[in-house]
Amino acid sequence: MSRHSADVIVRSLVDDGWVEVIEPTGSVVGRPARRYRFHATVGHVMGVDVGGHKVLALITDLDGNVVASARHLVQPEDEPSIRLAAMDATIAECLETAAMTATDIWALTVGVTGPVDSTGRTSLFSPMPGWSGVDPIGHLSDRFSCPIQVENDCKLAAMAERWRGVAQDADDIVYVLAGMRTGAALIIEGKVRRGFGGAAGEIGWLLPVRWQRSVTHLESCGSLPSGIEPNEVLGWVLAACRDGDQEAQTAVKRYVKDLAVGAAALVLALDPQVVVLGGGVSRSADVILDQFNAELEKLSMRPPEVRVSIFGDESVALGAVRLGIDEVDAHSFGERLLQPVAPRRVAG
Amino acid sequence: MSRHSADVIVRSLVDDGWVEVIEPTGSVVGRPARRYRFHATVGHVMGVDVGGHKVLALITDLDGNVVASARHLVQPEDEPSIRLAAMDATIAECLETAAMTATDIWALTVGVTGPVDSTGRTSLFSPMPGWSGVDPIGHLSDRFSCPIQVENDCKLAAMAERWRGVAQDADDIVYVLAGMRTGAALIIEGKVRRGFGGAAGEIGWLLPVRWQRSVTHLESCGSLPSGIEPNEVLGWVLAACRDGDQEAQTAVKRYVKDLAVGAAALVLALDPQVVVLGGGVSRSADVILDQFNAELEKLSMRPPEVRVSIFGDESVALGAVRLGIDEVDAHSFGERLLQPVAPRRVAG
């Protein structure tokens, strides 16, 4: 295509509000190439974190600016039907807040706990009862015609850290999601590793690295108020530890000691530049960071830098949004032409 | 450059024996592009495995065909001066066998135990006394003007398996070197992972994954003949186990149980397609393979396929040769022009 023809087409896209000019940055010798990108607000993506304790949905534009969010609480032991209903309600509420319908969403990503197989199921393992048989893509494809992806929560959280979080400068990252459950994901040469069967990062499965027992120290803390909700245990014990409660301090010490063993296993396997600590503990990281660093130094050969996530509990949903934007980019600038409406999902 | 000019130059290189034509394979429509490569025998590389029990040197042509080898025995507890003298003697003998001098070698790679830093030293850790202060590149650069590289033994062995061994079809590989010492290396997307500081794969450092104690079961086997050489323990116990010696069977059972824990840690971290079992046990793998597979199945979430190396104790030297050939390729086809003599090392 001649420069002139391309110009005519691109100008009409600019006039119609589809694309915008990227202004050249820095000094340029000669006439700079004209560069364009989608106008961020012509399309939107949705990321949904379906966790043990909550469902969180975010809608963002193609730059990742959040335009709406919604949240529903669930329980780890909830049946799949209850969790799916909470997911549906959260998605509907988020769309309503944004004054959108499902056809306005160009890509949808669902984050779940457990390794995700090639069909979007957690067939190998899910900590949530019955969930390993659930097909989130099938469940959502009656409403959404856009591409739908399912990915492991830790892998999405790790993507979020490299995108907008505390590890933007690092290519080799071990991400540890430490809350009332402990999980991990690996970024190597800037790419999240899925592994041959989607199960990379599942070091916590191995009893000797102690992640499975680590949280029991918090749950059995003697000074815990009776009747405390399970999802409030971590926050309570960390706060009590900071306030000088001796039983809480012992519980936290044991918890961090065990947390560091699994983290050290990943550090020794990968020798990453950075370890990112995310999940529930990241909001009270001041209580544990020194000890965590000290344990990691004791256990590993070359202790990496440890950084604490600043995303609170939104990291998984943010990573889901990022994966959706990647999907839009792949569709729009790949072999397929941009559709005038949201791209349709390729039948799975 | 015009096609004609290029032709004239390349033809003279063919006439002089530097390059040869690669015949087109498969069916080609139209006139196929003419492709050339170095005549494999115009250059040679050397790989040297400096291990605990032996030094092994190989000289190969640029296709990896072995033209000479030499071997000297050493002891794990030998001082660096003794090990360096053995290395020098092995290199000299290998050159002599090939009727070559150091200037005929286009690239030299030394494989050592322990993580290798950016200066070619094992400054973080070496199991060999005093060796972490040794600078193999400095030691060899008085004789060799070619590029000299130092790399970790397990990483080289893993490269050999993907190059010519049992994992040529796999891109994600966990390599376990299991002998009287246990080590590991990771290949991800076809590339050996060095890690941020060269220490990827060092899972054995972590006591809870049991590699450090695994070999003690063999060393304390009650039926071991008194006075047996340390480097013969593994072979003896495995052979006795195969012959029905009950104490040997118990020792091997405990050894494999521990070996599988560290292997499972890497499998759970990476979710590889293949685990390659190399090192001393690979020659008696029939004795342990079923139990190793069973343990790995128990411990991991998605058990990978386990394959046994067929390289015996030459895998590290073979990988060293491969890294040398890569270095020659990078020099010859990269930004630098081919020198009429062996390429000179860039001053480190």
Reply yes or no on whether the pLDDT at A203 is more than 50: yes
At A336, is the pLDDT very low, low, confident or very high (cuts 50, 70, 90)?
very low
State whether the Cα torsion A206-A284-A113-A63 is positive or negative.
Answer: negative
The residue-averaged pLDDT of A288-301 equals 97
Does the CB of A265 have a partner CB in chain B at under 8 Å?
A: yes
3-state SS string over A3-68?
HHHHHHHHHHHHHCCCEEEECCCCCCCCCCCCEEEECHHHCEEEEEEECCCEEEEEEEECCCCEEE
- Alpha-carbon gap, residue A50 to A316, rounded angstroms: 9
Among B174, B213, B275, B302, the residue to mutate for chain A (most A Cβ within 10 A): B302
- Alpha-carbon gap, residue A312 to A51, rounded angstroms: 14
pLDDT tens series, chain B, 348 aa? 777 888 888 888 888 777 777 777 766 667 767 777 777 778 999 999 999 999 999 999 999 999 999 999 999 999 999 999 999 999 999 999 999 999 999 999 999 999 999 999 999 999 999 999 999 999 999 999 999 999 999 999 999 999 999 999 999 999 999 988 999 999 999 999 999 999 999 999 999 999 999 999 999 999 999 999 988 999 999 999 999 999 999 999 999 999 999 999 999 999 999 999 999 999 999 999 999 999 999 999 999 999 999 998 999 999 999 999 999 988 765 544 444 345 555 443
Residue A335: the pLDDT is 46
- The answer to whether B60 and B317 have CB atoms below 8 angstroms apart is no
- The complex's ipTM works out to 0.88
Residue B209: the pLDDT is 97
Beta-carbon separation of A193 and B270 below 8 A? yes
- The answer to whether B172 and B273 have CB atoms below 8 angstroms apart is yes
Residue A194 with chain B: CB contacts under 8 Å: 271
CATH of B43-156+314-333, one of 3.90.1150.10, 2.70.50.30, 3.30.420.40, 1.10.3210.10: 3.30.420.40
Beta bridge partners of A184: A176
Residue B333: the pLDDT is 59
- Alpha-carbon gap, residue B82 to A347, rounded angstroms: 67
Span A41-156+314-333 CATH architecture: 2-Layer Sandwich (3.30)
- Alpha-carbon gap, residue B263 to A281, rounded angstroms: 29
**What token pair was written down for B320?**
């060293």
Does the CB of B83 have a partner CB in chain A at under 8 Å?
A: no
At A345, is the pLDDT very low, low, confident or very high (cuts 50, 70, 90)?
low
Catalogue the E-assigned strands of A138-285: 148-152, 173-178, 182-188, 191-192, 274-278
Supply the DSSP symbol for A163. H
Q: Give chain A's mean pLDDT.
A: 91
User: What is the residue type of B43?
Assistant: G
Give the number of A-B residue pairs with CB atoms closer than 8 Å.
130
At A337, is the pLDDT very low, low, confident or very high (cuts 50, 70, 90)?
very low
Per the model's pLDDT, the better-predicted residue between A326 and A28 turns out to be: A326
State the Rg of chain B over Cα. Answer: 22
Beta-carbon separation of B202 and A304 below 8 A? no
How many Å separate Cα A319 from the centre of its chain? 4
Reply yes or no on whether the pLDDT at A347 is more than 50: no
Per-residue pLDDT tens over the stretch A48-100: 999 999 999 999 999 999 999 999 999 999 999 999 999 999 999 999 999 99
Q: Which residues of chain A form CATH 3.30.420.40?
A: 41-156+314-333, 166-310
Q: Which of B275, B279, B289, B283 is nearest to B315 (CA)?
A: B279
Q: Which of B165, B178, B151 is nearest to B279 (CA)?
A: B178
Residue B188 with chain A: CB contacts under 8 Å: 188, 193
DSSP symbols for A166-189 = TTTT-SSEEEEEESSSEEEEEEET
Q: Which residues of chain B form CATH 3.30.420.40?
A: 43-156+314-333, 166-310
Beta-carbon separation of A269 and B272 below 8 A? no
The domain made up of A166-310 has a fold known as: Nucleotidyltransferase; domain 5 (3.30.420)
The 10 Å Cβ neighbour count of residue A35 is 9
Supply the DSSP symbol for B229. -
